[in-house]
Amino acid sequence: MRIIAASNYEEMSARAAEIFVAQVTLKPDSVLGLATGSTPVGTYQRMAEAYRAGKVSFAACRTVNLDEYVGLGPGDSQSYHEFMWENLFSHIDVKPEHTNLPDGKNLDAVAECARYDALIAALGSIDLQILGIGHNGHIAFNEPSDHFVAGTHMVELDAQTIEANQRFFERREDVPTTAYTMGMAPILQARQVLLLVSGEAKAEILRRSLTGPITPEVPASILQLHPNLVVIADDAARKWLT
Ligand code: GLP
């Protein structure tokens, strides 16, 4: 594990974007594993800036996202699909047909999870996977549980997760309670994992994830087993790391 110390959110985002640009420069047809949430937004802005400045092209990249709310999809403003278009895809030259998310509109969970696992397998290993972390230690939507799940699955979201995600919705009742999420296997098989953590509110869960026991009760703790994990954390998030 390598921990890159950033002074604040901006520096964390700049360092993460540099790693993405380097990855795509070295391997233009990279498979990029992408995440949603507030944490990667600054990284995506800087990736788009690098594209506009002519420093990088994503035209040969393929992307695969971690998760999507069940019931939401293209056209729904709160869907992760729309989030990715708003925050990244429409600002770079990635080909729409090269972008992939779980289909939240497919209510046949068994079929959708099987489709997404087959799609991930067909893409081959993810070259670079970006991750944020939930306040309860979730990565993607792998919520605390008594076991780790390898493949794509449908999850009931934690009350804490629903509360945290409420800020993106007008009313609490509007926040979806279930989601499709990539499982742990493709994340652990990614060639490089980039975990971004910003802010004091994430300091305790970051400490537990990186220095505590590896347990499905803290899903991100499994990242300790990854051979090429890079954590970029700002000063506030590193408060409890010694
Ligand atoms: C969501 C996403 C996660 C993300 C987490 C943290 O639940 N499914 O992939 O890491 O929230 O979000 P934020 O970065 O906004 O704190």
The one catalytic residue among 11, 49, 136, 204: 136
CA 139 to ligand 1 center in whole angstroms: 7
Share of the chain above pLDDT 90, in %: 93
Say if residue 231's pLDDT is above 90. yes
Instruction: Count other Cβ atoms within 10 Å, centred on residue 110.
Output: 9
Q: Mark whether 81 is an active-site residue.
A: no
The answer to whether the CB of 30 is under 6 A from ligand 1 is no
Q: Give the model's pLDDT for residue 188.
A: 98
Q: What is the mean pLDDT of residues 205-224?
A: 98
Which residues are paired to 155 by β-bridges? 179
Say if residue 127's pLDDT is above 80. yes
Q: Is the pTM of this model over 0.95?
A: yes
Q: Give the model's pLDDT for residue 167.
A: 87
Question: DSSP characters for 44-83?
Answer: HHHHHHHHHTTS---TT-EEEESEEETT--TT-TTSHHHH
pLDDT one-digit tens code per residue, 171-197:
888 899 999 999 999 999 999 999 999
Pocket test for ligand 1, best of 9, 12, 13, 36 (most atoms within 8 A of CB): 36
Strands 153-156 and 178-181: antiparallel
